[in-house]
Amino acid sequence: MDEILKHLIELSHALGDQKNQLAMLGEGNTSASCHDGTFYVKASGSQLATIDSSGFSRVKLDAVINLLDRPTMSDEEVAKSLQAALVDPSHRKPSVETFLHALFIKEGGVEWVGHTHPISVLSILCSQAGADPFLQHIFPDEIVVCGEEPLVVPYVDPGLPLAQAVRTELHRYQERLGHSPKVVMMINHGLIALGATPQETLNISRMADKWARILLGTFALEGPHYLSKKQADRIENRPDEKYRRQTIGKN
């Protein structure tokens, strides 16, 4: 087993660990770039908590990215196209969210992707408030770990339509802020953590969970006391916080 797949299995087990309440049963999916025009992605039907090497498929990156330019595809066409994108035809069918993973690896410039359905985060994303409570900051570590602001995407049918919608919002985000997000929040759906390392991806997922739990707690006490934009920007750009961000992304 190569090192990338080994670390991807470890990341998946951590994200799928039931005590963390980030994903259960067959929820969520993970991926990692192989740095050669291919990437590993969770196969359909696998469970993060128990996945092994047989639960991942290796996929050709450009073969998936090219499908994003198709205006529509039937479910049958999607299944056949993903099967055709496999590096090894004997591998299992990739997750329908393979499009999302390819997008973030190719156009988001990330190495590791962790998509989960945390109870805490979904408690907010499934509410009338949607992602609005996450659009301001409430404590320093969520800025350091989760970044300047999340990318927010309205509910779209999972699969190709969702990836196409996310692609549009990703490009808008990059044009406006000059970089890619670390966190993607999909209304009525879930969370995506985008990391340069498996540890950073796990850290982002865990911090987003903490962020959501604290937000939920504040609503019992007259609501969040947000940091000012000036305060948040200072934390985002402090040299010591930039150094800490690099350090904790490796540990």
What does the pLDDT look like over 94-114, one tens digit per residue?
988 999 999 999 999 999 999
State pTM to two decimals: 0.92
The string of DSSP codes covering 153-182 is E----TTHHHHHHHHHHHHHHHHHHSS--S
The mean-pLDDT minimum among 1-5, 94-98, 220-224, 237-241 falls in: 237-241
CATH assignment of the domain containing 65: 3.40.225.10
What does the pLDDT look like over 47-79, one tens digit per residue?
999 999 999 999 999 999 999 988 888 888 888
Domain count, the chain: 1
pLDDT of residue 162: 93
Matching residue, tokens 């991807």 = 8
What does the pLDDT look like over 16-53, one tens digit per residue?
998 989 998 888 999 999 999 999 999 988 899 999 99
Task: Select the more confidently predicted residue: 195 or 246.
Answer: 195
Domain that holds residue 181: 3-248
Helices 3-16, 198-218: crossing angle, 10 deg rounding: 20
Does 246 score more than 70 pLDDT? no
CA–CA gap between residue 56 and residue 58 (Å, rounded): 7
Average pLDDT estimate for 200-217: 96
pLDDT of residue 58: 96
Average pLDDT estimate for 90-96: 88
Does 242 score more than 80 pLDDT? no
Other beta carbons less than 10 A from residue 238's beta carbon: 15
Q: Quick check: 211 and 134 in contact, CB under 8 A?
A: yes
CA–CA gap between residue 48 and residue 11 (Å, rounded): 9
